[in-house]
């Protein structure tokens, strides 16, 4: 393991956490997006990540491999006043669970903070090592 591998690995974790936070922000921003009945409703974006492994089988951090859309049936809500309502007065709500998004946001923030703390601690350790013998 190289001297700066811990920083590089933590940076990959911070990058994945940042992408996760961006997806969550996008989902929360669209929690009230209504589309017409003939359009597909907005579906929450989910970041799928995995461990990054090099050719020698050694872990090199994390990487996002794809962004998926949440599955499930959208909720139909009776709102005859809405301009996009069907003839029966229903609109299609987005497939976003706000409570889940808020919980995920806390987890993603903590993940991002922990990875930055690893980077900071390693940088401080390397700086202290450079001062040895002065």
Q: pLDDT value at position 88?
A: 92
For the residues 83-108, what does the mean pLDDT come to? 94
For the residues 46-58, what does the mean pLDDT come to? 87
What pLDDT band is residue 103 in, cutting at 50, 70 and 90? very high
Record the pTM.
Answer: 0.86
Examine the pLDDT at 57 and tell me if it is beyond 80.
Answer: no
Q: Say if strands 59-69 and 90-92 run parallel, antiparallel, or are unpaired.
A: unpaired
Residues with Cβ within 8 Å of residue 96, at least 6 apart in sequence: 27, 28, 30, 31, 42, 43, 44, 70
Q: For residues 134 and 124, give the distance between their C-alpha atoms in angstroms, rounded to a whole number.
A: 16
User: Domain range holding 42?
Assistant: 5-131
Q: pLDDT value at position 1?
A: 58
Examine the pLDDT at 3 and tell me if it is beyond 70.
Answer: no
What pLDDT band is residue 2 in, cutting at 50, 70 and 90? low
Domain count for the chain = 1
Question: Any idea which of 2-11, 18-27, 82-91 has the lowest mean pLDDT?
Answer: 2-11
């Amino acid at each position: 393991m190289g001297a700066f591998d811990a920083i590089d690995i933590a940076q990959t974790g911070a990058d994945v956490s940042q992408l996760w936070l961006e997806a969550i922000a996008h989902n929360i921003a669209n929690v009230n997006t209504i589309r017409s009945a003939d359009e597909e409703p907005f579906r929450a974006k989910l970041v799928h990540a995995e461990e990054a492994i090099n050719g020698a089988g050694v872990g090199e951090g994390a990487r996002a491999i794809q962004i998926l859309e949440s599955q499930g049936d959208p909720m139909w809500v009776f709102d005859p006043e809405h301009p996009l309502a069907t003839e029966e007065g229903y609109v299609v709500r987005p497939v976003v669970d706000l409570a889940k998004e808020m919980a995920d946001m806390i987890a993603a923030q903590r993940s991002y903070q922990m990875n930055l703390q690893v980077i900071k601690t390693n940088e401080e350790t390397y700086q202290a090592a450079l001062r040895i013998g002065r």
